[in-house]
Structure 1
């Protein structure tokens, strides 16, 4: 009986990938975050990782744009999540920083973490992406 249970558990593991949706579609998603609270930023990072697992990393293109109070998380001086942002960037996630928020907070381009790219406006970037068919997800504050 014990052998049968172990065999069933092992065989389920072999077919677990078949349960995941593999529809071959490419998904384009942009996340937006303006709240700089640590728990919320960690939550959006988890959401991105979970999305990539559920849809298959090869099937999803993800951008995240930070603005407002969240922009500090992209800076060398203030980020407590630099390692996690780096891991996301290395996995193909595009890290975007709003230049309007940077100007307002007097943040220089040089103080951004490696891998972060500036956009002219977070709001404009969201509109452009949605116009191009991207899905927009806001981590509610």
Structure 2
């Protein structure tokens, strides 16, 4: 009797239509994902001092902030550690770019472990940035809180 029930269940499952992703018939009609939440959070990581990598990371953040789907819904944090400390150093050319992001609401977080390990004083960094005990710890916490993680 049990075999009969299993066969009936398999027959019913096999005859059910499979769920299919809704894709436009013309790929040119695709406009990307729709926002379904009232708020989104993303944490970006920068641990590289290469000018191209720094500028690409900042550009990625700007692009996210400018995405019309995310306007007014996005919280962004930039966690800097390791070699990325160059971004926040007063003797580097990034102050205006960093200030522009902060003026748009981006949280600028510097890893205190990096400063200690590299023997860098806070006085060598822009006075308007924030600090976290550990860059890795901040990334772990944010990811566990559900923030999207970007490492461009």
TM-score of Structure 1 vs Structure 2, range by shorter chain = 0.7 to 0.9
User: Judging changes above 3 Å, is the alpha-carbon distance between structure 1 residues 39 and 123 closer, same or farther for their aligned structure 2 residues?
Assistant: same
User: Judging changes above 3 Å, is the alpha-carbon distance between structure 1 residues 76 and 21 closer, same or farther for their aligned structure 2 residues?
Assistant: same
Residues 1:80 and 2:103 are matched in the alignment = no
State the Cα distance separating 1:53 from its structure 2 match.
Answer: 1.4
State the Cα distance separating 1:57 from its structure 2 match.
Answer: 3.4
* TM-score normalized with structure 1 length: 0.78
* TM-score normalized with structure 2 length: 0.73
> Who wins on radius of gyration, i.e. which is larger?
2
Q: Distance in 2 between matches of 1:20 and 1:126?
A: 25
- Give 2:27's aligned residue: none
- Which runs of structure 2 are paired with 1:14-33 in the superposition (5 Å)? 23=36, 25-33=38-46
Gaps of 5+ in 1: 1-18
Residues 1:50 and 2:67 are matched in the alignment = no
User: Aligned residue pairs: how many?
Assistant: 120
Could you list the structure 1 runs, at least 4 aligned residues long, displaced by more than 6 angstroms after superposition. none
